Amino acid sequence: MKVGFIGLGNMGNPMATNLLNAGHDLVVHDLRQESATNLLEMGASWANTPKEVVPGRDVVFTSLPVPRDVEAVVLGENGILEGASSETVYMDLSTNSPTAIRRIHDMCAEKGVTVMDAPVSGGTYGAAAATLAVMVGGDRSVYDRMKPTLDAIGSHVVYCGPIGNGMVCKICNNLLSMGIGVLMTEALTMGVKAGVDLATLADVIANSTGGNKRLTDKFPRFLFKGNFEPGFATALAAKDVRLATDLGREYGIPMELSNLVDQRHVEAIFRGWGPEDSDAVSKIQEEKAGVQLRLLD
């Protein structure tokens, strides 16, 4: 398939790499051309603008940090919509606002352009291994046609319903992941300060009803090693939590606990940890408890 890919950051680059490895013809764009060096060496072609990515492509993907970036790349000057036709399929792999992607969908539909949302979960290691979860919203027939291509980046590709539903699923997932991270750190610092070895405590919880992927997959790669190189940056985690609390307000849903998680991430941003991995939020609890959650190799 002829694929366009815009946004070659920590997640975008490995996803684009896996599309190339699967044999797809790839045209790429990023604000920094050096981000595409490995892809160009593998045979991808470079486009100078998002508009130039689109012609002749069966599908164009974006993987971008925040909703305003998506809107600029799709709707702005030299954006995707300027280069699109009624044959164009555009899929956003970013974590975006459901309301924003639905608005983009409606604006693109006026030109006959098909828009799908397809946010991903699984971190940079999942992106590299092509084991991401991919949550797709939009036209079912387009999903069916595009699923073999999405299988190149994810091992669990799911149709979630109409446009925006993929974003809703992703926001719910990330809110839970970030909230579990905050609560898990509280529980672990309590247990360690009360005298239990961290490895023992983590093993017990992982094999009991409190077990979760944040404890078994994420913390061992980052927090427990004192490794705060992203990964999934704290600034992006904070953005996703805020998308969740904003969505709750939009639909009149009480979000008391989520708002506490939101404020913890805001505090981490104020401390300058935005570029660090999202496990950096745990450093606030470590500091307050006087306990560091680290495991020796």
Up-side HSE of residue 232: CA atoms within 13 Å toward CB? 26
Query: Which of 243, 247, 279, 286 is CA-nearest to residue 262?
Result: 243
Contact between 281 and 234 (Cβ < 8 Å): yes
Query: Which of 190, 91, 191 is CA-nearest to residue 147?
Result: 91
Contact between 281 and 264 (Cβ < 8 Å): yes
Contact between 136 and 157 (Cβ < 8 Å): yes
The pair of structure tokens assigned to 262 is 């939101």
Contact between 285 and 185 (Cβ < 8 Å): yes
Per the annotation, the verdict on 51 as an active-site residue is no
Residue 42: count other Cβ atoms within 10 Å of its Cβ: 13
Distance CA 46, CA 134 (A): 26
Residue 156 φ/ψ, nearest 5 degrees: -140, 85
Query: Which of 241, 248, 231 is CA-nearest to residue 267?
Result: 241
Distance CA 228, CA 208 (A): 27
Q: Which of 2, 51, 111, 170 is catalytic?
A: 170
Question: How deeply is 72 buried, as exposed, middle or buried, from its count of CB atoms within 10 A (0-12, 13-18, 19+)?
Answer: middle
For residue 214, give the DSSP letter.
I
Distance CA 126, CA 221 (A): 13
Residue 187: count other Cβ atoms within 10 Å of its Cβ: 14
For the annotated catalytic residues, the residue numbers are 170
